[in-house]
Chain A
Amino acid sequence: MPTEQKYKENVVIKNPIENIESPVLKIDDLSVSYGGDKYAIQNVSAGIAKNKITAIMGPSGCGKSTLLRAINRMHELYPNTHNKGGVYLGNENIYELNPIQLRRKIGMVFQRPNPFPTMSIYDNVIAGFNLNGIRLKRSEKDEIVEKSLREVALWDEVKDALHNRGTFLSGGQQQRLCIARALAYTPDIILLDEPTSALDPIATSKIEDLLVKLKKDFTIVLVTHNMSQAARISDYSMFMYLGELVEYGKTKQMFTTPKDKRTEEYLTGKFG
């Protein structure tokens, strides 16, 4: 396997944590399995930069969604998962935290818009508080709802229909509503799992603009299938292949001078 060997040597960044200055989140030698000895991701180490957009790219089945879900322990919804290594938020290993508390610090937006169908737009935004039994004054709620909806540029579109069901909005609006729902709780980090893959190009570009604006207040980690999306909006990019973090660095640099041959082949469309 000479070529294999060559690839291995090509991996310049051995421990990418050191490449990111003052990371808000550190993934340390993390491996995740959905059961048995087969690992969906293996020995991934990376630091996530504060107030930046980090994109995770790679072909289907490379483990990018697993990596994302391991950050707020959503992968544990499947039975028999186990993992090695750790993820550190500040100095705390998230696997030693209570997942419920953790998820209040790390919000998530999913592939398909999933507003709560029984709730109004207003209640959807405030759901993180209501469902967790946090009592707020009416005025505080109003303020949070308006602020969150303004942040996702949805306020002007829905301000007269706040008490209508969220499911009557268009797909793009629903997805922005879901982002607002995640933001309302002011998490440290927002994870997005292919948030635009179910949307049309116009809705997609709105969400991309939105994410770029949001990074001043939040740290964003984004899984995307779409390379040009990663190139457009991310500051840092990860390329994953077969459960391994192949390359991680500044997006500009990765797209212009990839260090690993597999990254180059993926980016030039030779596979994926």
Chain B
Amino acid sequence: MNISTEISDRKMKQRLLKDKIFTNVMIFLAFLSGVPLFLILYQLAIKGYRQLNIGFFFEEAPDTMEAMVAVANNEIIPGGIANGIVGTLIIVGLASLIAIPLGIICGTYLAENAGGKFAGLVRFIVDMLQGVPSIVLGVIGYIWIVKPVTNGFSALAGSVALSIMMLPSIVRSTEETLKMIPGTLKEAALSLGVPYHKVILKVILPTGISGILTGVILGISRIAGETAPLMLTALGSTVVNTNITEPSSAVPLLVWEFYNDPNLVNMIWSASLFLLLLILGLNLSAKAIAKKWKVQY
């Protein structure tokens, strides 16, 4: 009896050791996957923090000459990315205005008609849409809006391209959220004599609000950093522009422009840092909303 316990004790020690090694390797690997984000943040912060002053948010992008002089004198490049920030707000805001209602309605339809043939087709198309390369959406925006509607590059065209891009994530997150809501809630409302449209608007959608909002915010954060479609639609602008039928700048477009101008290269870091923090912030708020507004049923 004693012998056998001793053997198993030794084995047990081995097992515990293996267990420990395995756990630590896993922790290490998990940590490793988080490293790139911190490296990027570190890199951008170190190189870009000097540019981040009040003017960075409220002044338009500098022109090449100004920047060249500043760099030659070893000064901070004057100006900021206000034209990009305003452009991003307008383009993304307009894209959201188009995509959010459409996406929620479509997602609700899919959830309510889960087995339907037409719903299956719509679901398939939405899934395909998710895979369309973003540059192709830019081409679509160009063909649909730039040429026939605004007669030239415009923020509106950028918004349309981006709205198509964010649509699938809203549709699918709405559908998935609503599918999780127990059918008994709908029955409860219908049994009170509540008309169907009010059941959807006042009971089902409010119950799924956290999931839907999470999808919306993730959709926004996905398009906020998108560059390719905007190159063919919004084009870019050196001044703050609030007219949606005119070319407009956007933060990711500015990063691209800074990259192409040797005198402005130093602005890349701060603009990228800003963009990254914006998107991280959106993602964090999506998580916070999902947690805070979660409806218990």
Interface residues of A (CB under 8 A from B): 72, 74, 77, 100-104, 107-108, 110-112, 114-118, 127-128, 131-133, 165, 167-168, 178, 181-182, 185
Instruction: Determine if B207 and A72 form an interchain contact, defined as CB atoms under 8 angstroms apart.
Output: no
**Interface residue total, chain B, C-beta cutoff 8 A:** 23
Interface of B: prevailing SS: helix
Does B193 lie at the interface of the complex (its beta carbon under 8 Å from any beta carbon of A)?
Answer: yes
Q: Which of B198, B203, B209 contacts A116 (CB 8 A)?
A: B203
Q: Is the CB of A74 within 8 A of B191?
A: yes
B265 adjacent to chain A (CB < 8 Å): no
- Given A110-B187, A114-B187, A131-B203, decide whether A185 and B295 contact each other with a Cβ distance below 8 A: no
A133–B190 Cα gap in the complex (Å)? 14
A-B contact pairs, 16 of them (CB 8 A): A77-B190, A100-B193, A100-B194, A100-B195, A103-B190, A114-B182, A114-B188, A117-B295, A118-B206, A118-B209, A127-B189, A131-B202, A132-B192, A167-B296, A168-B296, A182-B191
B33 within 8 A of A: no
Number of A-B residue pairs having CB atoms within 8 Å of each other in the complex: 79
Contact B297 A117 (CB under 8 A): yes
Q: Is the CB of B193 within 8 A of A116?
A: no
Q: Which 3 A-B pairs have the closest CB atoms?
A: A104-B193, A108-B191, A103-B193
Complex interface bits, B168-212 against A, C-beta within 8 A gives 1, otherwise 0: 000000000000001011111111111100110011001101000
Residues of B whose CB lies within 8 Å of any CB of A are 182, 184-195, 198-199, 202-203, 206-207, 209, 295-297
Residues of B within 8 A of A178 (CB): 188
Residue on A nearest B293 in the bound complex, by CB:
A118
Given contacts A118-B206, A178-B188, whether A132 and B194 have CB atoms under 8 Å apart is yes
Complex interface: chain A residues within 8 A of B206 (CB): 118
Do A127 and B295 contact each other (CB < 8 Å), given the known contacts A77-B187, A114-B182, A116-B185? no
B295 with A103: CB separation less than 8 A: no
Contact B193 A128 (CB under 8 A): yes
